[in-house]
Every structure is written in C-alpha cells, then in structure tokens.
Amino acid sequence: MPDQTAENQPSIASLSAFEQFLLQFIAIIYEPVSVTFLGKCLAKMDMLPPDVTTSGRTELTGVVARLREAGFLNRQNQCEPVLAERLIRMAVDNGLFSRFVALVEKEAPVSYQYGKWSTRCWRAMRQFRIGVYSRD
C-alpha cells in the first residue's frame, strides 16, 4: 500500500457502519492481524453496531478482503499510519476507544520476555499509542 496523505486516502464515510467499526478496531491493534484473531475478538464484543451481528469467518474474510482491495488495509491487515490516526480519533470520539483497548490488551497482551521480537515491538508501540490517546 503506498503512503497516503489526507488528500488521497480512501473515504471512510463511504463504508458501512461495520466496516468503520472493524477498521477502528484494527487501527488500535496496530500489529499485523489475522482474520482468525479478528473473528475471535468480534465474538467477544458486546459493542457491535446495532445493525450487525457477529460475522462468520467467511463473511469476515470477505469484508477484510474488500477493505484491502479498497486500500484501507495492507497485505498484513494493517492500516496505513495516517489512516490509523484518523480511525483511532474516531474511536475516541465515538466512545469505543477504551472498550477496544480493554479487549485488545486482554486478547493480545504485551510480554516483554516471551514471544517473537517483532510481535513484542508491535505491541510495545501499540501500548505507547494507547497511552498517547488515553492521555496516560
């Protein structure tokens, strides 16, 4: 995915409520993420948009593929940094940020002693970003 500026980013407003919700969650996760992990987290959410039920794996795979094709996600299902900033601000504004954070920290905790180095780095960066947006 090429670097994007605010002017040439895909339009978030053109997406469904579920797609926006999912992108906000992915932006907070920050690290490369699998559809399996997303499905596991969605199944545990009590905050899905009112018009959405927990998606099945096939449906979720299709949504993620469409978001990738539209330029919202890269091959590793991550948002480009400028887009991620916008999405996280949206999550803060709509009151979902702290609930997303609690779920991400529970399902993908930071370990500074175990796990792959790259995973630990992504998660440390995620925690830094969470601190910034939490003003903590």
Per-residue model confidence (pLDDT) at position 119: 73
Select the more confidently predicted residue: 75 or 105: 75
User: Which two tokens mark 90?
Assistant: 């949206």
Across residues 123-132, what is the average pLDDT? 73
d(CA 85, CA 92): 11
Across residues 94-107, what is the average pLDDT? 90
Q: Is 89 a residue whose pLDDT tops 80?
A: yes
d(CA 80, CA 73): 7
Per-residue model confidence (pLDDT) at position 1: 44
Q: Is 2 a residue whose pLDDT tops 60?
A: no
d(CA 42, CA 36): 10
What torsion do the CA atoms of 9, 12, 15, 21 make, to the nearest 10 degrees?
A: 130
Per-residue model confidence (pLDDT) at position 12: 93
What angle, rounded to 10 degrees, do the helices at 97-107 and 117-134 form? 160
Closest residue by Cα to residue 45 from 28, 31, 32: 28
Per-residue model confidence (pLDDT) at position 56: 65
- Write out pLDDT tens, residues 20-77: 999 999 999 988 899 999 999 988 887 676 666 555 667 889 999 999 999 999 999 9
Residue 48, judged by CB atoms within 10 A of its CB (0-12, 13-18, 19+), counts as: middle
Which pTM value belongs to this model?
Answer: 0.80
Q: Give the pLDDT band (50/70/90) at residue 107.
A: confident
DSSP 8-class letter at 95: T
Segment holding 134, helix H or strand E: helix 117-134
